[in-house]
Amino acid sequence: MTARGQRGFTLLEILVALVIGVLLVTLVPPLLSGMSGATELRGAARQLAAGLRGARNEAITRQHEAVLTLDLEQHRFGVTGDPRAIKLPDSVALKLYTAQSELIDGATGNIRFFPDGSSTGGHITVSGPKLAYQVNVDWLTGAIAIVEQEARP
């Protein structure tokens, strides 16, 4: 006993739905992976900015110099007063521009903050293939800013 008003899906409708599903499964992941690179860069720049702000706050509150030490080869940094070493993604390229007196060796350097909030100044560039972020540290005020820019070859 079947009712006349009931209908099912036709074979053509099912095939169209399957084709759309297959297209979504194959096209969406590459689009999302392209965005994750920019997200990873932005995240690394924000981690560095947070570390720099932490060092500045440490210098002001404790009334003694505080340092952010960046290891370019190991992709990690540490801040005075914090025993942790923060690991940055290996896929990002790092460059440090700081005072000559703050360079430890070819791959390690510091940005130093003083009790009045000022610093040695400089910037750290976090870059990928197409995009880069520059984390700037003003020497006079110690202010930290993140600037987006195109990656340079």
The domain segmentation of the chain, as residue ranges, is 37-150
Considering the domain delimited by 37-150, tell me its CATH architecture. Answer: 3-Layer(bab) Sandwich (3.55)
3-class DSSP state of 62: helix
Residue 117 has phi, psi (to 5 degrees) of: 95, -15
Report how far residue 108's alpha carbon sits from residue 94's, in angstroms, rounded to the nearest whole number: 11
Backbone dihedral region of 60: left (phi > 0), alpha (psi from -120 to 50 degrees) or beta? alpha
The answer to whether 72 touches 108, Cβ cutoff 8 Å, is yes
Beta partners for residue 130, in sequence order: none
pLDDT in tens, 28-86: 766 665 555 688 999 999 999 999 999 999 999 999 999 999 999 999 999 998 899 99
20-28's contacts with Cβ under 8 Å and 24+ in sequence apart are none
Read off the pLDDT of each residue in 105-134 and give the average, rounded to a whole number. Answer: 95
pLDDT band, very low/low/confident/very high, at 9 (cuts 50, 70, 90) = confident
Share of the chain above pLDDT 70, in %: 90
Highest mean pLDDT among 16-30, 31-45, 100-114: 100-114
pTM above 0.85, yes or no: no
3-class DSSP state of 94: strand
